[in-house]
Amino acid sequence: MTLTCWRMPAIVLALTVTGATVGCGNSSTATDGPAAGGTGGTGGTGGTAGSAGTGGTAGTGGKGGTAGSAGTGGTGGTGGTAGSAGTGGTAGTGGTGGTAGSAGTGGTAGTGGTGGTAGSAGGPSCKSLAAKCGPVGTASCCESAVVPEGTFYRSFDGVTYTDNSNPATVSAFGLDTYEITVGRFRAFVAEGGGTQAKPPAAGSGANPKLAASGWDAAWNASLSADTAALKAAVKCNAKFQTWTDTAGNNEQRPINCVNWFEAFAFCIWDGGRLPTEAEWNYAASGGSEQRVYPWSSPPSSTTIDEAYASYLVDANKLCFGDGVAGCTLADLIFAGTKPQGNGRWGHADLEGNVQEWTLDWFATYPTPCSDCANLAAGSYRVVRGGCFDDIPSDLLSSHRFNYFSPSYRDNGLGARCARTP
């Protein structure tokens, strides 16, 4: 029997009062400083460069050459007067003068910044998909952001979870800004993905830091036989399923009703993998900040309301992601439309909307942990992040869900992909 994420308000009332768990079953962004060049050239009144550089919106010479106001022959320095185009995108590694100019080699973003490196994930799922995610519906649904390396305590925030006996070190990794949307999943289905007829290659989707963490050919049998069977399988709840056989109004909503095998297969097809539980927890906790919720500022803040996430607010509002009391499909909100709830590195909907599959089997945390994961087969895969009808305690960054077999489907279950930066 397929379980569902939604339940009757009377049950919600009781469980909310008691506090019990309810609910659902590389481009980059840089902060660039001034560049190394000066305001003038090395010689006379003219230079060798023209009014345009080699590429983007700024030339390779910045605003001037290396010394005086004149170059070796023309009207500019040896690098020209900056040019109207540079070698890169709209933001580069330099400032207003010198070797980078106002555009450099980094594409649409630089390599640094305090929030990781935001850009396009580069997978095929957005190849023909309009940019309609984010707060105003103009961002690519395939954006990804790099989470920098660091050390933190798993399932610890110092406020609601106070056991700091599980430290972990995580290498830098990419994590998609948004949950997998219906539109992205549709491209996967259209190519026959997620089926026994077109399974992932054995060993693909491995975490480069973890041996034997890729796809196991034995899992092929757990995929749907063909595309028709997969389409039928992701219609797990008539009221809340987001999949439609033809493109419609749900393309920017998170895909739900996917099991662990389909989530992993999608991420592999899209050039990524599933995040480990430690990686997911690290991103949601803001790394060493150990945030109570992904958006908590200061990190110890326990503030939560409907501005931050789509979740079960209280016994009166119930699900309130769409701003209307009661639980409906509209509470599975378009990806990234509550930016106030973004995590430290810009990831949207880490809590609420849909829960997310991770790579790990549920077990006691492995210790010591340096890019670790529980890979020994067990009964349940770890799920993180609360869904649209989960109560606040389920949305804590430290909370683990431990009762989902890898074949389980639920209208509150989805995923997001991790990537090698």
104 shares its domain with 250 = no
195 shares its domain with 83 = no
73 shares its domain with 127 = no
- Is the predicted pLDDT of residue 72 greater than 70, yes or no? no
- Is the predicted pLDDT of residue 87 greater than 90, yes or no? no
75 shares its domain with 195 = no
Segment 28-43 shows an average pLDDT of 32
Segment 50-65 shows an average pLDDT of 34
Q: Which amino acid is at 38?
A: G
What is d(CA 31, CA 91) in angstroms, rounded to the nearest whole number?
Answer: 9
Percent of the chain with pLDDT over 70: 71
What is d(CA 115, CA 289) in angstroms, rounded to the nearest whole number?
Answer: 13
Q: What's residue 25's pLDDT?
A: 58
84 shares its domain with 125 = no
- Is the predicted pLDDT of residue 105 greater than 60, yes or no? no
- Is the predicted pLDDT of residue 13 greater than 70, yes or no? no
- Is the predicted pLDDT of residue 48 greater than 80, yes or no? no
User: Residue 197: which domain range?
Assistant: 1-29+116-421
**Which of 282, 276, 309 is CA-nearest to residue 394?**
309
147 shares its domain with 276 = yes
pLDDT confidence bin for 123, thresholds 50/70/90: confident
301 shares its domain with 312 = yes
For residues 58 and 91, the answer to whether their CB atoms sit within 8 Å is no
pLDDT in tens, 211-226: 999 999 999 999 999 9
368 shares its domain with 384 = yes
Percent of the chain with pLDDT over 90: 71
The alpha carbon dihedral of 382, 387, 392, 396 has a sign of positive
Specify the higher pLDDT residue, 268 or 105.
Answer: 268
188 shares its domain with 209 = yes
16 shares its domain with 103 = no
Q: Which helix (H) or strand (E) holds 11?
A: helix 9-18
Q: What's residue 80's pLDDT?
A: 33
Specify the higher pLDDT residue, 129 or 9.
Answer: 129
58 shares its domain with 193 = no
Segment 373-390 shows an average pLDDT of 98
pLDDT confidence bin for 390, thresholds 50/70/90: very high
What's the number of domains the chain is made of? 2
Pick the last residue of a domain from 111, 146, 172.
Answer: 111
Question: How high does pLDDT run on average in the chain?
Answer: 80
Give the pTM: 0.76
**Which of 92, 28, 30, 31 is CA-nearest to residue 58?**
92
Q: What's residue 52's pLDDT?
A: 32
